Structure formats: structure tokens, C-alpha cells
Amino acid sequence: MRVMGESEDRLSRALREGELTVAVYGLGHVGVPLLAAWLLAGARGIGVDVDEAKVAAVASGRSPVEEPGVEEILRAALSSGRLKSTTNGVLASRESDVKLVAVPTKLKSSPASMGAEADLSALKSAARAIGKGLKEGDLVILESSVPPGTTRRVLRPTLEEVSGLTAERDFGLAYSPERIYVGRALADIVERYPKIVGGVGPESARVAAALYREVAKGGVMVLSSDVAAEFEKLAEGAYRDVNIALANQLAILAARLGVEFEEIREAANSQPFCHLHRPGTGVGGPCIPIYPHFLLEVARDVGADLELVELARKINSEMPRRVAHLALEGTERAGLNPNSASVCVLGLAFRGGVADTRLSPTYDLVGELLRLGFRSVRVHDPRVRAGGGLPRGVRFLSDLRAALQGCQVVVLSTDHPEYVGMSPARLRELSQGTLLVVVDGRDCLDARHVPEGMIYLAVGRPIRVGGSG
């Protein structure tokens, strides 16, 4: 159906009654829950990806990502004939009325590199495919996080050049950032947060908002432009990066002053104008380490200065090195040689409770441990299925007892629920009595009692030596 120019009542009814077809480009951690959310609202759906395995999964009613509630929706839509998937982005564009772009936007270099630039190659490829199948009256919504100005300066020209149509006159074009937390993405889209929408013009914004009011029960906030909506998403990520950097610096100071940062944080956050985050081994995942770079890239282009954002990124990128040096300090205090000490790193996922390892700080932590001379390093994670991306010679194990057996040094990197509250005494028991050093990179172990002969170090806690009184 033609969505542009239709009344809001007509758009709502068409979506609820399955008259509208949506194509979602990118079947990853954002795209699959997004597809499920629109199917749940009543739309017919087409999943699009260049990865044949992901396309095949959706075609059989399976979710390529682990997200609660998603697979049930895919299976129901498939059985009712409302869902299909394809690697042919042009065909999907021809057969759909609304195109949602949720392809990955990454960096051309490491997030630890200042001056890193956005890699928009996947977006440009999707835009060309969509443009070849774009029809008058269609609506395109970009959901991927991008540098401000990308919708109008990259996506719009590509769509117009390939299709021969004009945005806002012949087709709609809007930006609506994904706002999800891995592990609860569907609920975030459908229930938790307002959907942000910004159009390249008022008609694009109106139609996109009307449709999203049927999808997002948390409501819709229409911003003044696509650029404002793009900026908003990055502001969320930069806020968290800066806050975590502050927490990391305060935690380091707390440890040196001999006080517990968590005690300070809880007391400070009892005041409603304070919301200190938690410190840790580093900031990982596909969002927070990347978004500040998108802002910094645009700031350089317009001659703006974002010193605070840049400094926060440097502080957080440095944390894996700091935690590795805590391991070295503890090893030397225990009279061990790094060359012969066996180290077990707990956690490969970028944060606790998920199996997602994208840009996990554990990778940098392991690399730094090797650089400092530790020869025997193994990694444990109870949720990650395989240790892809680890350096050669670093073993990955899923069984905690096997991972800890015979190790002298433990470094906790990820705050999985399976680790939180575990005592150093329990860790020593699992190691069969060999454990001498515990480094708590997330300040989440129960370290009230440190066994005789053990050294406990943490990001935001003072050093504790077992048996020292």
C-alpha cells in the first residue's frame, strides 16, 4: 500500500490488519527484535540480510540472536504466512511499503584509537538495494546509530540517485534510533521507551510517528529533524561513557584512600541529582565504545571541541590495561613469576548476563596480560559458547571448575550473575587450593573474608591480604 499521504487512522488500521508490509534490513541484535515488534503490531514482514545463515534461520522461524520472546513471534508469523526472509534487498524493497534499516555501523579502526571514523559501507549497500526497488508512497526509516547528518547526507542522496525519486515529495525518509538493551530488546521496543522520530520533512515525520505509535506502547517523541534524532541517540551513549569514566577514576582514588567505592556510590546516589555508574574492566559492546567517536568525527568536521567526550573515551579504553597491571602487582606481591603463573580470566561477554562478546574489554585485558609476560592464560564464560577472537594459545572453557583448576591468579572481567557474590575462598576451593591472587575488575565478589595467604585487589576497593588481620 502507499503509506505517504495517508491519514493516521488509515495507517494504524492498515498496520493492525496486516495490509502493510515492512522489510527489515539487517537481522542482528537490533533488526530481529525490530522485525518481531512490527509483526506483533500486525504487519507482514520480510527479513533481509547478506548472511545466508541468518536468512535461513528466520525462514524456519528461528531467531539468529538470543532475545526473549522473539522466536515465538517469528514462528507464529511464519505459520500464518506473514513472514519471509531473503538475501535479495532489491526484491524486498519492491515487495514492502516500509523499509527499516538496521544494518551495523562500525568504526574503521579500534575504538581505542582516537580519530576513528565511521564505517558506513553496510548502510550504503543497503541504501542502493532499497533504492532499486523503491516506489512512490514508500517510507524508509533508518534505525542504525550514525554520525549526525548521515540520513540527509548519505542515505537520502543514494536513495534519490538510484530510484529517481525525491524524498519527502515521492517517498518518506525518517530517522528513528534503536534504543535497546541486549537481552531485553523486544520489551524495550514495545513497552519500555518512547520511540524517537525525526523526518527529513514534516510529512515523513508524521507518517513514521503514526506507524510507530502502533508498535511502541511507550509512545513516540517527534523531534524537529532527522539530525536531532541522530544526535539524541549518540548523546545517550556519550553520557554513559562519560559517567563510567568518572566512576572509574573515583574508584581508583577510593582504592588508594582505603575505602570502598561501592559504599561511596550508593550513598551519593541516594541524592536524586546524582547517578554514578559502576566502574569496571572497561566499556564494551557495539554501542558505548563507538558512539562517542561518531560525535567526535562530526565535531571535527564542524570545528567543535568535545574534550570531555574524548577524555572519557581514553579513560575507559585504558581500564583493561589498569586491571592487567593489578594482576601483575598481585602476582609480584605473592612472589610469583608471570612467566610461570597460570591465570584464569572470568568472563568474555562485554557485560554480565549476556552471551554477547562484541568489543568486550576482556580481549584487550587478555592481550595486555600476554604483553606483561603472562604465558599461561585461560578464559572462562558460563554463557558464551565459543571463545572466538582470543589470541592463539589462550584456552577458552565453559566449565568453571576446569577453568580454575591449578591456577594461581584469577582476574574477574565480566559481572555475570554466576560470579557476583562469589567469595575468594570459593574460588580457591575450585582451583584445588592453588589460587593466590584475585583481581576483581568489577568489584562484585564477596571479599569480606580473604583466605590466609591470598591477595585480593580490585578497581574500587583497597588491597586485602589474607591473614594480615
CA dist list (Å): 102 to 99, 138, 219, 333, 335: 10, 17, 20, 49, 52
Whole-number pLDDT of residue 223 = 98
Q: What SS3 state is found at 195? A: strand
Confirm whether 400 is domain-assigned: yes
Range of the domain at 355: 317-465
- Mean pLDDT score, 318-339: 97
Regarding whether 165 and 72 lie in a shared domain, the answer is: yes
Give the end of a domain, one of 313, 343, 364. Answer: 313
pLDDT bin (cut points 50, 70, 90) of residue 468 is: low
* Distance from C-alpha of 12 to C-alpha of 7, rounded to nearest angstrom: 9
% of the chain at pLDDT higher than 70:
100
The answer as to whether 171 is a domain residue is yes
> In terms of domains, do 143 and 156 share one?
yes
Q: What are phi and psi of 279, to 5 degrees?
A: -80, 175
**Is 2 a member of any domain?**
no
pLDDT score, position 42: 97
Average pLDDT over residues 96-122: 92
Residue 124 is predicted with a pLDDT of: 97
Same domain for 330 and 213: no
pLDDT over 70 (residue 349):
yes
Same domain, 253 and 325: no
* 131 belongs to a structural domain: yes
**Which residue bears the cell 578497581?**
459
Scored b (16 or more CB within 10 A) or e, 156-181 reads: bebbbebbebebbebbbbbbbbbbbe
Quote the pLDDT of residue 329.
Answer: 97
Quick one: 73 and 58 in the same domain? yes
- Listed in sequence order, the residues at least 6 apart from 63 whose beta carbon sits closer than 8 Å to its beta carbon are 32, 36, 57, 70, 71, 74
Q: Residue 469 above 80 pLDDT?
A: no
pLDDT at 115 over 60: yes
Tell me the mean pLDDT in the region 318-326. 98
For residue 106, give the C-alpha cell.
562500525
Cell of 457: 585487589
pTM reported for the whole predicted model: 0.93
Strands 455-458, 437-440: pairing kind: parallel
Taking only the tens place, the pLDDT of each residue in 250-282 is: 999 999 999 999 999 999 999 999 999 999 999
User: In total, how many domains does the chain have?
Assistant: 3
* Shared-domain flag, residues 25 and 107: yes
Residue 142 in any domain: the answer is: yes
Chosen domain end from 204, 224, 244: 224
Q: Are residues 207 and 81 in the same domain?
A: yes
For residues 281-286, give the mean pLDDT: 94
**What's the pLDDT at 451?**
95
Same domain, yes or no: 302 and 326: no
Shared domain check, 325 and 434: yes
Q: Tell whether 3 is covered by a domain.
A: no
pLDDT value of position 408: 98
Q: For residue range 7-63, what is the model confidence (pLDDT) as tens digits?
A: 999 999 999 999 999 999 999 999 999 999 999 999 999 999 999 999 999 999 999
Residues with active-site annotation: 233, 287
In this structure, the answer to whether residues 145 and 290 fall within a common structural domain is no
3-class SS at 98?
A: strand
Give the per-residue pLDDT at 467.
78
Domain stops at, among 224, 244, 263? 224
Work out the mean pLDDT of the chain and round it to a whole number: 96
The reply to whether 294 and 385 lie within a common domain is no
Please give the biggest Cα pair distance in the chain. Answer: 78
pLDDT score recorded for residue 111? 84
| CATH number of the CATH domain containing 161 | 3.40.50.720
Task: Provide the sign of the torsion angle of the four alpha carbons 2, 6, 12, 13, taken in this order.
Answer: negative
